[in-house]
């Protein structure tokens, strides 16, 4: 499998690093990046090919990963359009809708749109992807193999669900950081040092997430198990329920989903 990356920044580097860790041949990877410094870094770090313009990447690989910032997608797609044949184009750009990308690519239909998240930078991401029907089973499998270099991959049946994915796992790391910050603030307010508070909050989150991931039981069951009748956890959860914390989280995620939809419309304007 040969792969061409358009945009060789943070996310492309995360994917390339992951592929090479799985013994992918660096000579099968070409990255197109307009920034000379970025190209030099890619060559030095990964020994892949790096070129300044898409015309220098011909023949293109069977899979093309578009990894430029959303506001650069239109220009990058329009430069790619005349060179396309049957390749599958995978976009990881947040918010760019398939219909807009297809239009900028001159009607190309072998398209996959996905939404990774920041933990992808350390191979611990979760990516959701949606493929158009013209993407073959083999192309989908090839794309999944590449995306797995960033972590886990799920497929969604309808593109609008990617707005929900954006609101849940795309923005999700910020919610997790907010929760850790809040727990740390509580610890400091109740007498612990900043350092103690930080380690307690972070390790509690890390350990609980690992426990949930390894357990065969649902998180709700795990929560009930640490909530003894009349105990401390029950007191905290009752207080949070009175403050409607869960409803507030759902409202927040809904706001993110609506914003994701609006951004898609704005980014798709010609």
Q: Which residues bind ligand NAP (CB under 6 A)?
A: 6-12, 32-35, 38, 67-70, 72, 75-76, 92-94, 115-118, 120, 170
CB contact at 8 A, 240 and 227: no
CB of 156 to ligand NAP, least distance (A): 15
Residue closest to ligand NAP when measured from CB atoms: 9
DSSP 94-124: TT--HHHHHHHTTT---EEEEE--GGGGGT-
Nearer to ligand NAP, 81 or 200 (CB): 81
Q: How many CA atoms lie within 13 A of 133 on its CB side?
A: 0
H or E stretch covering 159:
none
231 Cβ contact partners less than 8 Å away, ≥ 6 residues apart? none
Nearer to ligand NAP, 117 or 139 (CB): 117
Give the burial class of 92: count Cβ atoms within 10 A of its Cβ; 0-12 exposed, 13-18 middle, 19 or more buried: buried
Nearer to ligand NAP, 129 or 201 (CB): 129
Nearest to 67 by CA among 112, 9, 107: 9
DSSP 62-79: SEEEE-S-GGGHHHHHHH
CB of 75 to ligand NAP, least distance (A): 5
User: How many other C-beta atoms are found inside a 10 Å radius of the C-beta of residue 29?
Assistant: 27
Nearest to 105 by CA among 128, 134, 144: 134
Nearer to ligand NAP, 163 or 187 (CB): 163
CB of 8 to ligand NAP, least distance (A): 6
Place of tokens 């103690």: 196
Nearer to ligand NAP, 6 or 131 (CB): 6
Nearer to ligand NAP, 170 or 264 (CB): 170
CB of 17 to ligand NAP, least distance (A): 12
CB of 113 to ligand NAP, least distance (A): 11
CB of 178 to ligand NAP, least distance (A): 16
Place of tokens 């093309």: 64
Nearer to ligand NAP, 124 or 238 (CB): 124
CB of 171 to ligand NAP, least distance (A): 10
C-alpha–C-alpha distance, residues 30 and 42, integer Å: 10
C-alpha–C-alpha distance, residues 116 and 93, integer Å: 9
């Amino acid at each position: 499998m040969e792969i061409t990356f358009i945009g060789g920044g943070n996310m492309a580097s995360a994917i390339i690093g992951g592929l090479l860790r799985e013994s992918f041949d660096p000579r099968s990877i070409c990255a197109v990046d307009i920034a000379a410094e970025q190209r030099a870094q890619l060559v030095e770090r990964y020994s892949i090919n790096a070129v300044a313009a898409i015309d220098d990447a011909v023949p293109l690989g069977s899979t093309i990963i578009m990894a430029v910032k959303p506001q650069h997608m239109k220009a990058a797609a329009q430069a790619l359009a005349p060179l396309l044949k049957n390749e599958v184009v995978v976009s990881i750009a947040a918010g760019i809708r398939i219909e807009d990308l297809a239009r900028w690519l001159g009607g190309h239909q072998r398209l996959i749109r996905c939404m990774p998240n920041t933990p992808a930078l350390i191979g611990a991401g979760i990516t959701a992807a949606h493929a158009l029907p013209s993407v073959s089973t083999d192309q989908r499998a090839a794309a999944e193999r590449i995306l797995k270099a960033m972590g886990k991959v799920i497929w969604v049946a309808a593109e609008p669900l990617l707005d929900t994915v954006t609101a849940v796992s795309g923005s999700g790391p910020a919610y997790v950081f907010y929760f850790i910050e809040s727990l740390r603030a509580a610890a400091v307010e109740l007498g612990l040092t900043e350092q103690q508070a930080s380690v307690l909050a972070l390790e509690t989150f890390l350990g609980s997430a690992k426990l949930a991931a390894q357990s065969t039981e649902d998180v709700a069951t795990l929560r009930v198990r640490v909530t003894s009748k009349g105990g401390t956890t029950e007191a905290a959860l009752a207080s949070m329920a009175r403050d409607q914390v869960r409803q507030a989280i759902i409202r927040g995620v809904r706001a993110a989903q609506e914003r994701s939809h609006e951004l898609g419309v704005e980014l798709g304007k010609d």
